[in-house]
Amino acid sequence: MTQWHERSSRKKTGGKRNSNRRSDRILAWKGGDAAETIVAGENRRRTVEKRGSTSKVRQLRANTASITVPGQKKAVKAEILAVAENQANRLYTRRNIITKGASIKVKIEGKEETAKVTSRPGQSGVVQAVLQKK
């Protein structure tokens, strides 16, 4: 469902505004729903058409992440097990929703490690993270 980023029809005093803007709807005020990338069985992406003949890839489900190992010049593809912590919203941790800054549990070479997400999966379509030190 489309979200419209407009001014409130109510003033801060509680009174109703006579006119909100010059017209009801203009495409520049149109927004979309958040992708809310979840940890699930199979990677799933959706391409969304944007203004100016551009497109954006949204990751809807993720089961793998590209993990950068600090100190070494390499990245490892790892399986995502669960979301350990999400500063954006504590309920996102329960729902296994991945956002930038979330701590995720990953399986690297048979060991369970923690990594911090550095990409925005709902905007870029990939989950990239940096391995956390213990």
Q: Residue 22's pLDDT is what? A: 75
Residue reference for tokens 């793998």: 64
How high is the pLDDT of residue 131? 96
Which class would CATH give 35-131?
alpha beta
When computed from its CA atoms, the radius of gyration of the chain, rounded to whole angstroms, is: 19
* Tens-place pLDDT, residues 10-30: 899 999 988 777 777 788 888
Q: pLDDT per residue over 26-82, tens digit each?
A: 888 888 888 899 999 899 999 988 888 999 999 999 999 999 999 888 999 999 999
Which alpha helices (H) appear in 55-109, and where do they start and end?
Answer: 90-94
- Ordered by start, the domain boundaries in the chain are 1-33, 35-131
pTM confidence score: 0.80
Digit-coded pLDDT (tens) for 99-120: 999 999 999 999 999 999 999 9
